Amino acid sequence: MATDIAAITARIVELETRLAFQDSTIEELNEVLVGQQRQLDRLESDHKRIEDRLKQLLDGPDQSHGY
């Protein structure tokens, strides 16, 4: 009986250790994902700005400056 309790206790400790590691890993992955999303947002914004500027250049001179 004591052996059964010891085995169950060891198994619980092992599972708790795995859970703690998984929680830590999930948190790290979440931080990476948030950083990548911010980078993607910046790249999309830069792309849009460049696309708009290119369209403006291809459309001809800027009429707002009276050229």
Any domain includes 66: no
Q: In the chain, where does DSSP find H-type helix?
A: 2-59
Give domain status of residue 22, yes or no: yes
In a domain, 65, yes or no: no
54 has a pLDDT exceeding 70: yes
In a domain, 29, yes or no: yes
pLDDT of residue 24: 98
Residue 67, domain member (yes or no)? no
Please check whether residue 64 lies inside any domain of the structure: no
Share of the chain above pLDDT 90, in %: 85
Task: Give the span between the Cα atoms of 53 and 40, in whole angstroms.
Answer: 20
Name the domain count of the chain: 1
Q: What is the pLDDT of residue 61?
A: 75
pLDDT, tens digit, 9 for 90 and up, residues 3-32: 999 999 999 999 999 999 999 999 999 999
Q: Which residues span the domain enclosing 29? A: 2-58
Q: What angle do CA 27, 16, 33 make, to 5 degrees?
A: 10
**pLDDT band for position 64 (cuts 50, 70, 90):** low
Q: What is the pTM of this model?
A: 0.65
Domain for residue 21, yes or no?
A: yes
Q: How many other CB atoms are there within 10 angstroms of residue 61's CB atom? A: 10
